[in-house]
Amino acid sequence: MFWKKAPATPGSEAAPHSTPRAGGGDDAALDAVANLLKAFGENAFDTDNVTALETRAECEGWAKKITVGGGRSEDEGGEVKPFKRDFGGVRRYFSAQRSHEREFVGRSLGNLREAVHAFARCLTTTVGEDRAADERVGAQLGKLVGAFQSNDSVAIRCEAEGIVAVVQEVMAKRSESQKRMLGELSQKITDLREELQGVREKAALDPLTQLFNRASLDAHLERVADLAFLLSSSPCILMIDVDHFKKVNDSYGHPVGDEVLRRVADGLVRNFLRREDFVARYGGEEFVVVIPDSSLHNAEQRAERVRQSLSELEIDAGKNTKIKITVSIGLASLSSGDAGISWLARADAALYEAKGSGRNCVRVARETGSAVASIVPPRSLPPGARTRSIPVGR
């Protein structure tokens, strides 16, 4: 239980699943359970019959069900009944989901073990067949040696013909066996490679936006920083934040917020189409673009184009409502002595300066870590426009 039951008075019975009093430890316990559910949803992964997004939405739904309090509901007969928190339903859902995920991971590991076992079986079968064939050849050679000792030319000729026939048969069977074994191994290895590639791609991508995730970004930044000094290139990094994103979630709900993030991700991909450009979701409403070789001036122009492009998006928020967003961008070129983490930190400092300068603008980081103004914000929408520009980050 998440709270202490009040002692029962004589002649009365405690109501099952009673709603706790608001405030104090009860609220803290409910918040803790809700946060656990949200954390579980945010770290969900795709399985064979449910996606990570579906699990996240389900967990958020349960979190709302147990944190909403003190309300009343009507049954089919119109009778008003006190609101009851369905802790049993939460426990059953959580238990069933975890059980399903455990089975899914177990099956995936089982596929890997089966591939290893198949490889071992192929080797064992090949070695066994080779040993049996060698024994046949050895036995026939023994007969040939015995014929030589007898000085019987007919026997020698017969045994020599016999050894030739045995060797030809063994070689033919061995060739067929090896082809069959290689074919089976090749198929197993192909299946395993495809499965591992799928797992690797899922592990490298953010499930909501299908951009590279934070772990992939960290590894990429270090590689780009190391290669830049060897190749004398000048990479740049853009850190992009959706302005006032929390207000979108608060005003329209998380599904609309998720749609905003997906549309921003699509917009970034369309604006950075070169194969060498690297677009990632840093976390929350923040994105990062790594341009491997560009002058700071050109990167600044591209940052302005993407800022302008994203500000023109119209996103459906339901009920015939369209919303528009803006983004703030921090830009930093790789400086001498920069590692991936310090390079990213300078871009982040420039982003914070853009946020502090009124948002919807670009700021360029100096080598010292400070930033200078780059692009002025665009004009606001004219009065009476059908779409509403609402603050949508930090």
pLDDT tens for each residue of 210-227:
999 998 898 888 888 888
Q: How far is CA 291 from the centre of its chain?
A: 22
- The tokens of 122 are what? 């192929």
Taking 50 as the threshold, does the pLDDT of residue 386 lie above it?
no
Alpha-carbon distance of 336 to 127, in angstroms, equals 58
Per-residue confidence (pLDDT) for residue 194, from 0 to 100: 65
φ, ψ dihedrals at 316, nearest 5°: -75, 120
Q: Are residues 144 and 160 in contact, defined by beta-carbon separation less than 8 angstroms?
A: yes
Q: What is the mean pLDDT of residues 377-381?
A: 39
More confident residue, 392 or 118: 118
pLDDT at residue 46 in the model: 79
Among 15-19, 55-59, 166-170, which range has the highest average pLDDT? 55-59
Report the pLDDT value the prediction gives residue 363, as an integer from 0 to 100.
96
| Model confidence at 107: pLDDT above 80 | no
Q: Which among 212, 234, 211, 216 is positioned nearest to 338, based on CA atoms?
A: 234
Which of 394, 372, 211 is CA-nearest to residue 287?
Answer: 211
Q: Give the pLDDT of residue 379.
A: 35
Topology given in CATH for the domain delimited by 214-389: Alpha-Beta Plaits (3.30.70)
pLDDT band at 261 (very low <50, low <70, confident <90, very high): very high
**Is the pLDDT assigned to residue 130 strictly greater than 70?**
no
**How many other CB atoms sit within 10 Å of the CB of residue 172?**
10
- Six-digit token pair at 307? 């800022």
Where residue 248 falls among pLDDT bands split at 50, 70, 90?
very high
Q: Which residues contact 112 (CB under 8 A, 6 or more apart)?
A: 192, 195
CA dist., res. 166 & res. 135, Å (int): 11
Q: Which of 140, 207, 214, 137 is nearest to 171 (CA)?
A: 137
- Separation between Cα atoms, residue 286 and residue 261, nearest integer Å: 9
Which value, to the nearest 10 degrees, does the dihedral of the CA atoms of residues 249, 318, 53, 263 take? -80
Least confident residue range of 95-109, 139-153, 362-376? 362-376
Catalytic residue among 259, 285, 300, 304: 285
Give the pLDDT confidence score for residue 387 in this predicted structure. 38
E strands, 45-119, where?
72-74, 80-82
Backbone angles phi, psi at 368, to 5 degrees: -80, -10
Distance CA 315, CA 318 (A): 9
pLDDT score for 394: 52
Q: What is the pLDDT of residues 144-185, one digit of tens each?
A: 667 666 666 677 677 677 767 777 777 777 777 767 777 776
Q: Which residues pair with 283 in a beta bridge?
A: 286
Q: Going by DSSP bridges, is the β-strand pair 322-324/327-333 parallel, antiparallel, or unpaired?
A: unpaired
Helix (H, G, I), strand (E, B) or coil at 328: strand
Res. 284: pLDDT tops 80 = yes
Q: How confident is the model at residue 301 (pLDDT cuts 50, 70, 90)?
A: very high
Q: Which residue has the higher pLDDT, 151 or 34?
A: 34
Q: For residue 377, what pLDDT is reported?
A: 43
With 70 as the cut, is the pLDDT of residue 244 above it? yes
Which of 125, 130, 128, 160 lies closest to 146 in space, CA to CA? 160
Mean pLDDT (whole number) for 84-112:
77
Query: Residue 206: which residues within 8 A CB-CB, separation 6 or more?
Result: 212, 213, 280, 281
What integer pLDDT is reported at residue 144 of this predicted model?
Answer: 65
The segment with the largest mean pLDDT, out of 4-8, 172-176, 348-352, is: 348-352
Angle formed at CA 46 by CA 40 and CA 50, multiple of 5 degrees: 90
On the CB side of 353, CA atoms within 13 Å amount to: 21
Distances (CA, A) of 158 to 140, 162, 258: 11, 6, 83
Q: Decide: 360 and 307 in contact? Cβ < 8 Å.
A: yes
Q: What is the largest CA-CA distance in the chain?
A: 117
301 CB-near residues (< 8 Å, 6+ apart): none
CA atoms within 13 A on the CB side of 258: 14
Is 285 annotated as catalytic? yes
Q: What is the mean pLDDT of residues 319-323?
A: 89
Averaged over 235-254, what is the pLDDT? 94
Q: Are strands 371-375 and 388-389 parallel, antiparallel or unpaired?
A: unpaired
Average pLDDT over residues 341-353: 94
